[in-house]
Amino acid sequence: MRDLVKKITLPGRASYPVNIYLLGEGEDALLIDTGYRETAREVVEQAAGGRISRILITHYHPDHSQAGEAIARETGAEIFAHPEEIPTIKQWFEETEVKTVADGEIIKFAGGEIQVLGTPGHTRGHLAYFWKEEKILFSGDLVVGGSTTWVGPPDGDVRDYLASLDRLKGLEIAQIFPGHGQEIRHPRKKIATLIRHRHMREQQILVHLKRAELTIPELVQEIYPILEERFRLPALLTVAGHLHKLESEGKVEMIPGEENRYRFLGSGD
C-alpha cells in the first residue's frame, strides 16, 4: 500500500473488524470513516503523523460513524456525510455538527481530489469516495473484501444497490479499499461477481415461487437449508429485500389477504 493511505483496522463489536483510512499527511489529512466510539483514541494515536482536518463518512452505521465526535473533539476536524444519514449519525453525538456532502462533489486536499459518489443500496445515503489521482475507491459497505454486502429492509434496497454497483463500471478504478476486509486488487472482477451473486439469489427465489406460493421463512428454508441461527435474521431480511425488488418489477406479489405469502406473476427471465 502506498504511504499516502494509512489503513487502520479496528475491532468490531459483534460484527467484523472495520477499516478506516487516513489519507495524506501534514495539516490536511482526511479520514474516511471512524470506527466505534470506544476506539476513537486508537484512531487519534494512529493518525499522529497528520492532523485530521476532515472526516468523510460513508454511511451512518455505528462502526463507520460513531467515533466521529470524539475524534473531532481531539483534532478539530469537520465531519461530512450525506443528508439522509445525518439525523442518525447525530444520535451518536452530543453536539458536534455534521456537514452535508453529496453525489458529484469534489473534495480537494493535499493529495489531490476526491470525487463523491452517491451509492445507495446498503443504506439510503451511502457514499463512496474516489481518489482520482490514485484511482482508489473507498467503498464503505458498498463493496467489502472477502464477502458480500448485506442489503435488506428497512434501509437497504436491492435495486439501488445493483444500480450503484453498475455505476462503478464507468470509473477507472485500480483498487478498492473497503470498509471491511482486504483491499480489492481486481475491482472489475469483484464488481461483476457481486452483481452475479444478486442475480443468482433472485433467480433462486423465482424458481421456488414458480413451484409454490411461499412465505419469507419458507423461502429462506429453501434457499439456505443449513443456516446458523445468527444468520437467520439477515437471511430473512435479504430475501425480503429481493422480494421487494421483484414486486416493484411486477414479477411477484404478496397474495392479498395472506400476509407474507408470495406468488410468482411474470416471466422473470
Which residue, 61 or 242, is less far from Zn ion as judged by CB?
61
The number of residues that bind Zn ion (CB under 5 A) is 2
Residue type, 166: D
Q: Which of 141, 155, 160, 202 touches Zn ion by CB under 5 A? A: 141
Quote the radius of gyration of the chain (alpha carbons, Å).
20
Q: Rounded to an integer, what distance in angstroms lies between the CA atom of residue 75 and that of residue 259?
A: 52
The residue assigned the cell 435474521 is 233
Task: Check residue 128 and give left, alpha or beta (phi > 0: left; psi -120 to 50: alpha).
Answer: beta
Q: E-assigned strands of 33-122? A: 50-56, 78-81, 98-100, 106-109, 112-118
Which residue, 117 or 209, is less far from Zn ion as judged by CB?
117
CA distances from 158 to 87, 92, 145, 150, 153 (A): 23, 27, 19, 10, 9
Q: Which three cell numbers stand for residue 223?
A: 434457499
Q: Are 137 and 179 in contact (CB under 8 A)?
A: no
What size, in residues, is the chain?
Answer: 269
Which residue, 141 or 157, is less far from Zn ion as judged by CB?
141
Q: Which of 61, 90, 198, 242 touches Zn ion by CB under 5 A? A: 61
The one segment of 29-37, 91-99, 140-148, 192-200 that binds Zn ion by CB under 5 A: 140-148
Q: Rounded to an integer, what distance in angstroms lies between the CA atom of residue 212 and that of residue 260?
A: 14
**Min separation Cβ 13 and Zn ion, Å:** 13
The interface with Zn ion within residues 142-161 (CB under 5 A) comprises none
Task: Classify strands 18-23 and 5-10 as parallel, antiparallel or unpaired.
Answer: antiparallel
**Min separation Cβ 62 and Zn ion, Å:** 9
The interface with Zn ion within residues 18-57 (CB under 5 A) comprises none
Which residue, 15 or 203, is less far from Zn ion as judged by CB?
15
The interface with Zn ion within residues 225-244 (CB under 5 A) comprises none
Angle, CA of 260, 261 and 263, to the nearest 5° = 135
Contact status: 90 vs Zn ion (CB under 5 A): no
Which residue is nearest to Zn ion, using beta carbons? Answer: 61
Which residue, 180 or 208, is less far from Zn ion as judged by CB?
180
Which residue, 61 or 90, is less far from Zn ion as judged by CB?
61
**Min separation Cβ 179 and Zn ion, Å:** 7
**Min separation Cβ 99 and Zn ion, Å:** 21
**Min separation Cβ 122 and Zn ion, Å:** 6
**Min separation Cβ 151 and Zn ion, Å:** 10
Q: Which three-class secondary structure state does DSSP give residue 128?
A: strand
Which residue, 18 or 246, is less far from Zn ion as judged by CB?
18
Q: List interacting residues with Zn ion (CB under 5 A).
A: 61, 141
